[in-house]
């Protein structure tokens, strides 16, 4: 008689006997009462899987809530599948495009057959929402399938999913996973819930040319998120999407086709020229405000790995072409002494807190500079944890402008004592407008995380494991100190580059492969490797030395 197969359930901290061949849903039936919640997916050997995953050998299994990071992504993808189903039934002939995350939701548009935006009404959006709710109430099964890619390609072609056809033709995998909901097929970047009834909380709201799909509120999961005003971010996304359409690269399939046709040099040159043009416009705005008696101080803010440092250096060059002299100071030098530094929730020094800065000294120095006085810049010693005073005189002449880079630049409390018109605020973020396909967007957060993994390994000798482990803490700091103030910006600079993930692939993949399988961070590493697998690699030697991407890859003509 053969020995009973066992899996180790992390939730119960014990082994569970199984016969072999059962799905995770089957196994869950026998332990549901003990687990005490309704899982939406599971982590199997530290890799996120849907609940239809069959078990044929010993595994470590952790069932996950919808509110967990992996579960939240599964929930959102499942809403996208239901939305696609509802649109095909309520608005036949229209194409659903899920474009990017904004205003606490996903921005979606419906397109006519010629690619133009369909004019939406409240009634149309409500009709789609009502159909989604009926799909939820029917608790329809969502079935995972896997077929030869040539067969899946033909199936998608018949459904009119031309963007998915192009992606599959350029990725060239032998087999492809897809999901089926009531006869409708779709593919997603990651697993889905096993049935529609698990995703009951959502809302659709009319928004500009399209609508927002809002999932559950993270702190109150029984109600949907409420949108926030992000019109400046919306315009920044929209401008770049127009640029994508002009160069005919809006999704990964089109990018891969350009790489295979050896057109990457043209793409790189045009994208870099776009960065120059955007920074030139910001420089012109600063010059104009300066001539009107304002914009003496320029604050450049943005989240981790948004490219603030290179953006600041390139903006300085543009300002010089406008006959202005940029002078720079670092907010790091205005840290309070270590014994006065606030502590975070874990008891560590919170250097990301606004109150880790000596706001009184900073504001006093800035006021004196604008009054034409000379100041002595402080110097903060991280080694000794206190401010050191050395001779560092600074004065602003008539055509000088002071550039200050730091995460708190958009927070009005940073420069509360200065006249509002004396400060010009620039927000920098990698607002990723490239889509995998019409129903799968690329997260701006993932783009930044890949940048950070590559940069931290090169310059700080930090492993991908450690970068991934620290990332949730970084994100919490951004949510508290950066994102609430985005709309305070006078200008938004989108630091993303249409080709960059193809370049990052060569650097990031080896680092992600080094993440051990026996740690929970492997799930995130695997997910990022899956994202990179869609991209044709682009050789980094084509990237110019002044490119913002060089801040992360190395080889920049700037000194950091």
pTM here is 0.93
Spatial distance between the Cα atoms of 454 and 451, rounded to a whole number of angstroms: 5
Within the chain, all domains assigned CATH 3.10.20.30 are found at 5-65
Listed residue (167, 322, 175) closest to 252, CA to CA: 167
Task: Please give the average per-residue pLDDT across 329-334, as a whole number.
Answer: 90
Tell me the per-residue pLDDT of 118-151, one tens digit each, with 9 for 90 and over. Answer: 999 999 999 999 999 999 999 999 999 999 999 9
In the 8-state DSSP scheme, what is residue 103? T
Tell me the per-residue pLDDT of 21-61, one tens digit each, with 9 for 90 and over. Answer: 999 999 999 999 999 999 999 999 999 999 999 999 999 99
Tell me the per-residue pLDDT of 433-481, one tens digit each, with 9 for 90 and over. Answer: 999 999 999 999 999 999 999 999 999 999 999 999 999 999 998 999 9
Q: Show Cβ contacts of residue 228 under 8 Å, excluding neighbours closer than 6 positions.
A: 103, 104
The CATH architecture annotation of domain 233-553 reads 3-Layer(aba) Sandwich (3.40)
pLDDT at 351: 86
On average, the pLDDT of the chain sits at 95
Task: Please give the average per-residue pLDDT across 81-107, as a whole number.
Answer: 96
Q: Show Cβ contacts of residue 224 under 8 Å, excluding neighbours closer than 6 positions.
A: 201, 202, 203, 214, 215, 216, 217
* CATH homologous superfamily for the domain 5-65: Beta-grasp domain (3.10.20.30)
Per-residue pLDDT for 2 more than 80? no
SS3 content of the chain, % helix, strand, coil (to 5): 45, 20, 35
Tell me the per-residue pLDDT of 266-301, one tens digit each, with 9 for 90 and over. Answer: 999 999 999 999 999 999 999 999 999 889 999 999
pLDDT at 1: 33
Listed residue (30, 32, 79, 70) closest to 50, CA to CA: 70
Tell me the per-residue pLDDT of 168-223, one tens digit each, with 9 for 90 and over. Answer: 999 999 999 999 999 999 999 999 999 999 999 999 999 999 999 999 999 999 99
CATH tag, 70-228: 3.30.980.10
Per-residue pLDDT for 347 more than 70? yes
Spatial distance between the Cα atoms of 477 and 90, rounded to a whole number of angstroms: 41
Q: In this structure, what token pair is assigned to residue 302?
A: 């943005």
349 — pLDDT class (breaks 50, 70, 90): confident
3 — pLDDT class (breaks 50, 70, 90): low
Per-residue pLDDT for 412 more than 60? yes
Alpha helices in 60-148 (DSSP H): 69-90, 122-137
Listed residue (159, 160, 84, 95) closest to 128, CA to CA: 84
Within the chain, all domains assigned CATH 3.30.980.10 are found at 70-228
Per-residue pLDDT for 236 more than 80? yes
Tell me the per-residue pLDDT of 152-169, one tens digit each, with 9 for 90 and over. Answer: 999 999 999 999 999 999
Secondary structure class of 291 (helix, strand, coil): helix
Give ∠ CA 73-183-438 in degrees, rounded to 5.
45
Within the chain, all domains assigned CATH 3.40.50.300 are found at 233-553
């Amino acid at each position: 008689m053969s020995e009973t197969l066992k899996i180790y359930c992390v939730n119960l901290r014990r082994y569970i006997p199984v016969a072999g061949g059962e799905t995770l849903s089957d196994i869950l039936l026998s332990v549901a009462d003990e687990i005490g919640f309704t899982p939406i997916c599971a982590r199997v050997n530290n890799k996120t899987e849907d609940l239809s995953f069959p078990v044929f050998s010993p595994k470590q299994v952790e069932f996950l809530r919808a509110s967990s990071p992996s579960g939240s992504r599964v929930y959102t993808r499942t809403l996208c599948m239901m939305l696609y189903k509802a649109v095909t039934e309520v608005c036949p002939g229209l194409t659903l495009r899920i474009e990017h995350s904004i205003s606490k939701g996903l921005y979606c548009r419906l397109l006519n057959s010629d690619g133009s935006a369909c004019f939406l009404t409240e009634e149309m959006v409500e009709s789609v929402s009502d159909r989604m709710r009926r799909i939820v109430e029917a608790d329809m099964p969502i079935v995972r399938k896997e077929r030869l890619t040539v067969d899946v390609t033909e199936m998608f072609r018949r459904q009119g999913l031309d963007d998915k056809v192009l992606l599959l033709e350029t990725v060239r995998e032998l087999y492809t996973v897809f999901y089926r909901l009531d006869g409708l097929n779709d593919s997603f970047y990651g697993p889905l819930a096993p049935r529609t009834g698990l995703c009951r909380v959502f809302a659709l709201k009319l928004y500009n040319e399209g609508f927002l799909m809002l999932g559950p509120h993270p702190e109150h999961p029984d109600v949907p998120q409420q949108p926030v005003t992000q019109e400046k971010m919306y315009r920044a996304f929209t401008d770049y999407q127009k640029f994508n359409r002009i160069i005919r690269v809006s999704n990964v399939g089109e990018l891969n086709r350009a790489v295979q046709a050896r057109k990457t040099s043209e793409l790189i040159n045009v994208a870099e020229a776009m960065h120059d043009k955007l920074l030139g416009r910001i420089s012109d705005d600063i010059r104009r405000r300066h001539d009107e008696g304002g914009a003496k101080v320029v604050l450049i803010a943005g989240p981790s790995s948004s490219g603030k440092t290179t953006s600041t250096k390139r903006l300085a060059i543009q300002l010089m072409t406008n006959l202005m002299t940029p002078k720079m100071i670092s907010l790091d030098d205005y840290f309070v002494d270590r014994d006065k530094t606030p502590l975070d929730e874990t008891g560590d020094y919170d250097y990301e807190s606004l109150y880790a800065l000596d706001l009184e000294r900073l504001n006093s120095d800035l006021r004196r500079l604008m009054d034409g006085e000379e100041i002595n810049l402080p110097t903060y010693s991280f080694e000794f944890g206190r401010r050191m005073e050395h001779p560092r005189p600074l004065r602003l002449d008539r055509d000088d402008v002071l550039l200050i880079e730091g995460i708190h630049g958009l927070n009005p409390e940073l420069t509360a004592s200065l006249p509002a018109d004396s400060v010009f605020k620039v927000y920098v973020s990698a607002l990723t407008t490239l889509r995998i396909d019409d129903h799968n967007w690329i997260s701006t957060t993932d783009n930044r995380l890949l940048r950070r993994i590559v940069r931290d390994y090169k310059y700080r000798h930090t492993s991908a494991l450690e970068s991934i482990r620290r990332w949730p803490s970084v994100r919490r700091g951004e949510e508290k100190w950066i994102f609430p103030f985005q709309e305070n910006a006078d200008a938004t600079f989108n630091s993303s580059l249409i080709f960059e993930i193809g370049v990052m692939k060569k650097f990031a993949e080896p680092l992600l492969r080094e993440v051990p399988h026996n740690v929970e961070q492997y799930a995130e590493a695997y997910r990022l490797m899956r994202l990179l697998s869609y991209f044709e690699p682009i050789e980094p030697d084509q990237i110019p030395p002044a490119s913002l991407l060089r801040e992360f890859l190395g080889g920049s003509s700037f000194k950091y």
